[in-house]
Structures are given as structure tokens and as C-alpha cells.
A and B are shown apart, each in its own frame.
Chain A
Amino acid sequence: MQLTKKKVAGLLSAATCTLLGTPAQSADNGWDVDSAILFYTEDNNRIEVVEPVISATKDLGDDESLSMKLVYDSLTGASATGAVPSTLVQTFTRPSGRGTYTVDPNETPLDDTFKDTRVAYSMNWEKPIDRNNRRNLGFNVSKEYDFTSISANALWQHDTNQKNTTYSYGISIELDDIDPVGNVPEPLTDMLAQDKGGSSDTKNIVDLLFGVTQVIDKSSLFQLNLSLSEADGYLNDPYKFVSVVDSVTGEPIQQLFENRPDSRSRQSLYGEYKKMLSNKDIFTASYRFMTDDWGIDSNTFDFTYRFRLKEGYFIEPHLRWYQQSEADFYHYFLVDGEPVPTEATADYRLGEMDATTVGVKFGKQINDQHLWSVRLEQYVQSGDSSPSKAFGQLAQQDLYPDVEATMVQFNYSFKW
């Protein structure tokens, strides 16, 4: 006789209920759902993003779980092109090659055609191998108008020392297809020439992760990760320019499409400490050092402190500080008459800068089933807006405008 095709559990709970005289509670075996929506707004009419996310995790029993996540993001607004401002009206060709837009005197050139929607889906499957080993397989796909990305990752976690120490070994492989509006521009050629190559190009990224998580005592733990990342292929931003300026007046006379190396190796070291205090407040501190062969070094410090209030409420201030050095091939501008370097970018994201985020999160845990929270963050990024090498009219311009962004986020988690 085989009971394997028969469901006895339901009838059994009813019988147990009669035996014990207690109402049967259903065992919790559903989905854990996390949902959130982010509103991101930059000052000065730059980028605006609305990004809803839903993620669901199903406990498959025996410590096995499957999770899925769907992200939609809609982006509008204008983004800095890398071109320098001028005392004159500047005219730029749209990326499509059809039509132009103008930038007023002394204004930072922004490409106002930015409008994109992105849909990303990811899934993750975690399964124990044996009592001290787990594996985690992930798959991600993301699609936007001019960009398609697929990636897969595998993570192996090994527990030792009575599960007080966990080693993680991971690999991720990402394949991207860049399909710029108006084809791929020929690097370091004049924008006006519209010298475009093929319709698309590719890049691939391999990430390796080695991590150790150590339980320190009943209420604190520490994590240390070493990550290596190798990107190869088309690493340019097809919509970014470097201005060539007149050697006397500093007025831009030509806009070149930027060019970055076709490979990038990064190493980063990440440490995080987390501690629950005796009053159940939680303190988290993390630090990341990153260095790459483009000449960029960065330091990131991040702190949160969760105050536990009455009745499940909590409030969590957040402070993040970031600082990076510029890429070897970062130039605010190129000077006419001087030899054009083989690689050049004026993308502010590869320049020297620092950034501060100040935020606060407020929420409530309702018994075991629901959690809602609201998060408000303010981000300010600034670099050297008047570098000493600026001359002529450039000396009067803001060559590295601050980016100021506000993020408002709502989270709701529930069991389903």
C-alpha cells in the first residue's frame, strides 16, 4: 500500500483538533511577499524615476526556497552629456541623428531626450547540499529600449565552526547588448559628422565573490567580502561627449564622442558589522574600498541605527559617505591643437567627487505577518566645479555641477 498519493494531513489536523480540543491553525507555507515603490527626483529638472518592485519568496521545505522579483522602472528627464557650458548658445545633434536641441549660454548641456522604461526579472533558487553547504542559483534578465542584459550567478555557502563561520564563493556572468539610438558612434569623432558604426555592440562582465561571515556573539556578526570584477567589450556611454575647446577663449569648438578602454578590472573589499543592543536597537556599519585599472579608487562608509519604538514601530536614520578619485582618462575638456588622447571621457561619474546621503526610515512591524515602512533620503554629489586648469570662459563656468536627488520609498511586506 502506498500513501504517497494521498493527502492525510488535512484530515489528520481535524482529528488532532478533536483530540486536543483546540482550533487547528494552518501551517505557514505560503509566499513571503515584499513590495516597494521608489520615487527618485533630481533637482534642476534632471532625472526622474518611478520604480515599483515586487518580490516573492516561497519556502519549499527542507530549507529550500525559490524567489522571484519583478522590477519596472520608468525614467524621464535630462542627463549631463559631458560637454562644457559656453557663453554662446550651443546646438547639439540628437542621438538619433535626426533633429537638434539647443543649450542656452552658461548652462550645463543636458540631453533632454532621456526617456526609458526598464523591466527586469530575476529568480533565485536556494537549496541545501548537506547540513553545512548550500547552493544558490540566480538568473536575471533586464530589458530597456537600448539595452538588454542577461546574467546568471551561482553561490556556494559553506558553514563551519558550528555554523558560526560561513564561507561564500560565488560567480556571476553577465552578457549585455547595447543598442544605442542612432547606432553605435565611432569613438572620438565629431558629433556633427554622425560617424556611426554598427547598430549594436556587446559587453560581458564576470564577477567573483569570496566572503566570510562570522558570528561574534549572541547579538553581533561581521562580514567580509572580496569581489573581483572583469568587464570586457563596449564600455562607452554612446550618448556622452568630450568638448574640444579653443586654446585661448576656452569656448567649445567641437564635441567628440567619448572613448573608454574596452576592459575594466575592479577589486573591492567590503566589511559590515551588525550588532543588536540590549534594548533591541540595531546598529549597522559598513565600509567598502574599491580600486580598478581605470585609476579609480573609492571609499564608502555607511551607517544605520534602528531605534525600536513601542508597538512594533521603528525609526532608522541612515548616513552614507562616498568618495572617488577620477579615471586616468577623465578630462573636463580637451584643448584644440593638443594631441587627442586615445581614451577620453568627460562623464561626471568618472570624475573626482564625493557624495553624501542622509536618510531616515520609519516603519512598523505588525505581528509576524506585515511590515510597512517609508524611507526618505537626500543625496548630494559634488566635485571640483572650478578646476585650476580651466581657462578663458571656462573659468567662469560650473564644470562639475552638483547632483542633488531626493528619494521617497514605500515598502510593504506580507505573507500570502
Chain B
Amino acid sequence: MASPCEVLVESNDAARSRKLITLAQQEADRIEQKFSRYRDDNIIHQINQGGEPVTVDAETARLLDFAQHCYSLSEGWFDITSGILRRVWNFGQNGKIPSQREIKALLPHIGWEKVKWENPNLTVPMGMEIDLGGIGKEYAVDSTLTLLKRETDNSFMINFGGDCNASGPMADGSPWMTGIEDPHRPGDAAAVIQLKNGALATSGDVFKFIQHEGIRYGHILNPRSGWPNPDSPLSVTVAAATCTEAGILSTLAMLQGKDAEKFLDQQEVKYWCYR
């Protein structure tokens, strides 16, 4: 799944802007290569071989700590070991609903509590996998922002497939304009948000779902049941100080099903929820 990415820089200096954008691209590519579960040359692949303790680098350790934190904060609703459910859930164009038996067979291999994480050593039991896809893109946005902030005082905005973070308002105080895609009309904006500093992240993909017997099965799966939660919103966009934070909150909101708005109200964050 490819996502369009952009970096917008307020500048009159094209050469300088191009340099910043190249830096951003390098950083995003670095994170993607390092943490993608589709590659066989990275730390994730090594960890997912299973059974053996793997010593990880500082950045990976920070991400694992964070994932563990999210797991306990969310009482298990956010779980980076739930990625293997994608073996039976195929949210493509020809997606079909897996059987309960197929799902049940995978459930014993899900659960962060079964993983042994003693910083810097991680042991994932055989048959289990970790997948940082749920936080990787948002982390890439935040990390790139931090990197570019060191390089320039100009205002800029990073947008990786709809997850954005702005460094600050433009020189004259005007905001960056960001659209939230309308889940009912893909390609069209449901709302335009003015972003000065802070981040936005969206959960819910207008293409990634299975429609079966009148029921819409969204791609955000409950790690406990292996099923998408019924009555989830079509999309949830959350504004927060960082993209990573916004991403977790929007994912957790999706998992709350019909209580998504209630959950978000409780968090006292700004959000846009579409059903």
C-alpha cells in the first residue's frame, strides 16, 4: 500500500527547500526500511524469526517501550503482535470474510504479554510476529519534523499519507491548510483544518474494508477477538501535539466502535469523526 507524501516548505529559496525535502525523504525512507515488516533485511525481520532473543538498537528500543506503554494504557487494545491477523484478513478488492476457525487458530499467537522484552533484548515466541505498522508512519512524520526543525527556522508541514505535522504558522501567522478526506466521497474534503503547530492523524481507510452481507468490516482489528469492532466510525481524525499520539488515539477511537466519540470526548482532544 503506497501513500502519497509531501513536505511543504515556506521559502523563497528553491534550492534550500529542495535540500530540506531530500532530507525528509531520506529520513522517511530510512524509517520505512528499518521497520517495514515486508522486508527481509531489517531488524523486524530478524525479531520475527522467533524463539531467539534479539538485541535491538536504541531507536527500536524506544519504539518497543512505547508500544508496550500503549499496550498497557489501552488495556491490550493496541497490540503490535496483532499483525498476523492479516494472514486471514485480506482487505483488498477481492477481500472475503475469514472463518471463525481461521481466526481462532491465530489468537494464541497474539498478545504482547507473551513477548519477553527486557530492554535491549526482545524475544518473540515462535509463531508470533511484531508489526510496527500501526505507529511507524506517524513516528516517521514526527521524526522527520524533529530532523528538519534542526535545519531550518522556516515554517514547513509534513504530510505522509494524511498524517501531518506542522512546524509552526507561516511567517505572517497564517496556518497550513489540510483536508480530511470524506469517507463518503473519496477524493473530496470533508473538512479543511487549519494547522499552525501540532499534528493530525487519521484512522480508517476508505478503500480498506470488506463489504459482506450488508456489513462493513473495517481494517482496524480488535487484537482480542480478531474481528473489526462493529459500529466503528468510517474515519477518525485526531489533532494532538505529535502525530504519534494522534495516531494512537484515532486507532483506539476506532476500536471503541459506537463509543468512539465518547472516548474522544473523554480525552479532551480535538477530533473529527465520520460515520
Contacts and interface: CB of A to CB of B under 8 A. Distances in A.
Q: Do A and B bind each other?
A: yes
A365 B269 CA distance: 26
Interface residues of B, number: 48
B171 to A, nearest CB: 10
A25 B268 contact: no
Contacts of B39: none
A62 B271 contact: yes
A102 interface: no
Interface in A249-278: none
B241 A26 contact: yes
A365 B63 contact: no
A61 B146 CA distance: 27
Contact of B192 (A11, A19, A163): A163
B197 interface: yes
Contact of B172 (A20, A163, A280): A280
B270 A59 contact: yes
Nearest to B271: A61
Interface residues of A, number: 37
Interface in B232-259: 239-242, 244-245, 248-249, 252, 256, 259
B191 interface: yes
B13 interface: no
B142 A365 contact: no
B117 interface: no
B30 interface: no
A368 B192 contact: no
A54 B175 CA distance: 26
Interface in B259-275: 259, 262-273
B70 interface: yes
Interface in A1-55: 1-9, 11-13, 15-16, 18-22, 24-29
B59 to A, nearest CB: 9
- Specify the main secondary structure of chain A where it touches its partner: loop
B263 A61 contact: no
A338 interface: no
A179 to B, nearest CB: 44
A12 to B, nearest CB: 5
Chain B CB count within 10 A is highest, among A7, A15, A18, for A15
A381 to B, nearest CB: 38
Contact of B263 (A4, A18, A312): A4
Contacts of A280: 172
B169 A368 contact: yes
B35 interface: no
A59 B269 CA distance: 10
A368 B196 contact: yes
A131 interface: yes
B18 interface: no
Interface string A55-87: 000010111000000000000000000000000
Contacts, number: 114
Given A9-B267, A29-B269, A24 B75 contact: no
B69 A9 contact: no
Nearest to A1: B75
B252 A15 contact: no
A4 B266 contact: yes
A12 B267 CA distance: 10
Nearest to A17: B242
A13 B245 contact: yes
B65 A18 contact: yes
A215 B271 CA distance: 26
A13 B245 CA distance: 6
Contact of A24 (B73, B173, B241, B266): B241
Chain A CB count within 10 A is highest, among B76, B241, B244, B266, for B241
A19 B66 contact: yes
A61 B70 CA distance: 24
Given A11-B73, A13-B245, A20 B198 contact: no
B240 A27 contact: yes
B244 A20 contact: yes
B245 A12 contact: yes
Contacts of B74: 3, 8
A26 B263 CA distance: 19
Contact of B244 (A1, A9, A19): A19
A217 B190 CA distance: 21
Contact of A16 (B182, B196, B245): B245
A19 B65 contact: yes
A29 B270 CA distance: 7
A4 B65 contact: no
A29 to B, nearest CB: 6
Contact of B269 (A24, A61, A312): A61
A131 B182 contact: yes
Contacts of A24: 241-242
Contact of B191 (A11, A25, A131, A308): A131
Contacts of B146: 20-22
A159 B162 CA distance: 23
B139 A19 contact: yes
Nearest to A5: B266
Contacts of A7: 266-268
Contacts of A11: 69, 73
B269 A63 contact: no
7 contacts: A3-B74, A4-B259, A4-B266, A12-B249, A16-B241, A62-B270, A62-B272
Given A4-B266, A9-B269, A18-B66, 6 more contacts: A3-B77, A19-B63, A20-B142, A20-B242, A22-B142, A312-B173
Question: Across chains A and B, which 4 residue pairs bring their CB atoms closest together, nearest first?
Answer: A9-B267, A15-B69, A19-B66, A4-B262
